[in-house]
Amino acid sequence: MVRHGYEEAMAAPNAKTWSQAMKSEMDSIHKNQTWELVELLAGQKSLSCIWVFRYKYASDSEKSKYKARHIAKGFKQEYGVNYKDIFSPVVKMTTLRLLLGVVATKDLELEQLT
């Protein structure tokens, strides 16, 4: 796995492929309604974002992938100002497996709320 920054990816000979990876990421964000565009309230600042590019080398049986991720710079939050106001509701796979295991063991029903 090799990681690149935006400038490096756009200056590379395969910049078109990186651009396609960026488009795929933005399409996925819109399709999954990951973001909601809102106006900032007076006195508030938004967090900036960066692009992270990754080339995943595959084994002989798999195809290599160009992946682009658009990531908020959460480390810019200030404790006591906006530290607890922003979150990303992403569950770890181990937590999901544990939850599904409990549901299966106890013969419970599981529903997803949107």
pLDDT beyond 50 at 48: yes
55: nearest Cα among 47, 44, 66: 66
What pLDDT, in 10s, does the model give residues 50-104?
888 888 777 766 667 888 888 876 555 566 655 555 555 567 888 889 999 999 9
Q: Supply the pTM of this predicted model.
A: 0.55
Listed in sequence order, the residues at least 6 apart from 66 whose beta carbon sits closer than 8 Å to its beta carbon are 14, 17, 18, 20, 21, 53, 54, 55
pLDDT beyond 50 at 1: no
